[in-house]
Amino acid sequence: MKDGGVVKSKCVVALGLPSDMIGNLSNAYDVVAWPETQPMPQAVLQDRLTDAHGLLCALSTPINAALLENASRLQVISTVSVGVDHIDITAATRLGIPVGHTPGVLVDSTADLTLGLMLAVTRRMAEADRWIRAGNWAQGWQSDLLLGTDLSQATVGIVGLGAIGQAVIRRLQGFGSTVLAWNRTPRHMDGVQMVELNELFARSDVVSLHTAMTPETTHTVDRDRLASMRSGAALINTGRGLLVDEAALIDEVCSGRLNAGLDVFSVEPLRPGHPFLSQENVVLLPHVGSATASTRLAMVGRALENLHAGMAGQALPYCANPEVYPISDS
């Protein structure tokens, strides 16, 4: 598209952004935006990427090899997320397309939310809220009403000692919880007992997932590990839904043996009638681990940095596949 005689590069924006941001992008690029709240359909995305130079997207936009192979002019993919498991990174790298992401800006917001889910589950907060709203609080104090468990007295197992897992542990230490941890590579944190994964599940009152999503970590939490957890224990997941065998977890929470606090799911959004929706012992959030105003602003800022760099033919400051760039001899 020409603007005053200048041909602008085409940029597809496959997520909702404030109008002022779209306006600023339009000053630099021929922007094709998606105004809907639902994800851009794959057929629409494929059509719009045919002659696009840049793509700004989020976790709700799957980017597969077929889409990328059809986008012969694509110079950069920038996702407003830390995780990139919605993008075929192997295909992007093979085709020479750098993929930008937003690491380092959502650690504290996600760690805070994780602690919130732990407390909501162990102290039955969401259940108590629903109980009051249903008009059930018709009498005074009762000694056995909505009894929960103390996080300060709990043994909490942390699966994955990346930045978020470590931030969760620092918060738990303030509560006085006993903390167990497992990581794929050896790590040390003061006051934390490193154990094997199976032992962590068997000993913990609460298990919280913070490992990266890879083909190897799919269903890390399988039926056997769930079965090994103590009766009444809780699984907290603010990582990725596919870390968990969801069918096995459904069986455990529907039986009442386990509790759960979930911000992520194997398929998002949850379909109407999903078994989790009817369970009082499951606290559900709609993938909002990073949902604070400051964190989302920082994420979009980093995504735009990546987008601008890629559109200018420069190396991305936050690149998920740095191997796309040739190694310099200097």
Give tens-digit pLDDT for 297-307. Answer: 999 999 999 99
pLDDT of 166 above 60: yes
Q: According to the model, what pLDDT value does residue 3 have?
A: 56
Lookup: tokens for 196: 């094997």
Average pLDDT over residues 266-278: 95
For residue 38, pLDDT beyond 90: no
Position 326 scores a pLDDT of 85
Q: Supply the mean pLDDT for the chain.
A: 95
% residues pLDDT > 70 (the chain)? 97
pTM score of the predicted model: 0.90
pLDDT at 5: 53
- As annotated, the residues of the chain forming the CATH 3.40.50.720 domain(s) are 2-104+293-324, 107-134+146-284
Confirm whether 219 is a catalytic residue.
Answer: no
Helix (H) or strand (E) holding 229: none
Q: What is the pLDDT of residue 329?
A: 54
**Residues 101, 240, 302, 308: which is the catalytic one?**
240
- Which residues, in sequence order, are bridge partners of residue 12? 32, 55
pLDDT, tens only, 245-264: 999 999 999 999 999 999 99
Which SS3 state, helix, strand or coil, does residue 278 take?
helix
Q: Is the pLDDT of residue 239 over 70?
A: yes
Instruction: Give me the pLDDT at residue 122, please.
Output: 98
Residues 11, 53: contact at Cβ < 8 Å? yes
Instruction: Please tell me the class of the 2-104+293-324 domain.
Output: alpha beta
CATH of domain 107-134+146-284: 3.40.50.720
What is the reported pLDDT for 318? 98
pLDDT of residue 186: 87
Nearest CA to 54 out of 8, 17, 104 is that of: 8
Contacts of 121 (CB under 8 A, 6+ apart): 206, 234, 236, 259, 260, 261, 281, 283
257 is catalytic: no
pLDDT digits (tens, 9 = 90+) for 60-106: 999 999 999 999 999 999 999 999 999 999 999 999 999 999 999 99
Name the DSSP class of 319. B
**Catalytic pick from 36, 69, 196, 268?**
268
State residue 327's pLDDT score.
74
Give residue 185's pLDDT: 92
> Which of 38-42, 100-104, 192-196, 227-231 has the lowest average pLDDT?
38-42
Check residue 6 and give its pLDDT: 60
Could you give the CA distance from residue 175 to residue 151 in angstroms, rounded to a whole number? Answer: 7
Predicted confidence (pLDDT) at residue 37 exceeds the cutoff of 90: no
pLDDT in tens, 114-151: 999 999 999 999 999 999 999 999 888 899 999 999 99
Query: Is 287 a residue of the active site?
Result: yes
Question: 184, 219, 287, 296: which is the annotated catalytic residue?
Answer: 287
